[in-house]
């Protein structure tokens, strides 16, 4: 009987799962805690960000949009399903992307890496009670 190792940060899976794993590993929080936060966290986005955390989400949305708009079709590089490799730098304890620079997978990983670091830098602004004005 072969034992299957527990999934680590470098395990392969759908990007949204990898993104959630990155957030969990770096921030010790569930990615779901960001879903529906402010005006930009979660699917869609509108208006002005309510704080620094929400501004991270807006930048992440625009990063994904740039990937989609710079490819010949949505299916040639979908940020939502592209599988990438990442790991933690043992000194800085920050994520780094392991795919070939310039590749679709590297670009998606970079979007997720940057927003995760942004969340960390703006953790002091996180207030789940903040909602997007209607």
Enumerate the known binding-site residues for Ca(2+): 42, 44, 61
Known catalytic residue at 112: yes
Question: Catalytic: which of 10, 54, 106, 112?
Answer: 112
Judge contact between 121 and 114, C-beta under 8 A.
Answer: no
Q: Which of 67, 70, 71, 87 has the alpha carbon at shortest distance from 79?
A: 67
What is the C-alpha separation between 86 and 95, in angstroms, rounded? Answer: 7
CA-based radius of gyration for the chain: 15
Judge contact between 37 and 43, C-beta under 8 A.
Answer: no
Question: Catalytic: which of 51, 54, 60, 106?
Answer: 60
- Which residue's entry shows tokens 């939502």? 80
Known catalytic residue at 51: no
What is the C-alpha separation between 100 and 98, in angstroms, rounded? Answer: 7
Q: Give the largest Cα separation in the chain, rounded.
A: 56
Dig out the tokens for 16 from the structure: 């949204």
Enzyme catalytic residues: 60, 112
């Amino acid at each position: 009987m072969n034992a299957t190792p527990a999934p680590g940060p470098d395990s392969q899976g759908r990007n949204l799962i990898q993104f959630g794993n990155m957030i969990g590993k770096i921030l010790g929080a569930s990615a779901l805690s960001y879903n529906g936060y402010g005006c930009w966290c979660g699917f869609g986005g509108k208006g002005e960000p309510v704080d620094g955390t929400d501004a991270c989400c807006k930048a992440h949305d625009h990063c994904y949009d740039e990937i989609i708009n710079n490819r010949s079709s949505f299916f040639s590089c979908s940020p939502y399903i592209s599988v990438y490799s990442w790991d933690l730098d043992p000194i800085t304890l920050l994520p780094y992307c392991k795919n070939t620079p310039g590749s679709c997978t590297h670009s998606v990983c970079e979007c997720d890496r940057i927003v995760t670091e942004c969340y960390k830098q703006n953790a002091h602004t996180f207030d789940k009670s903040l909602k997007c004005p209607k």
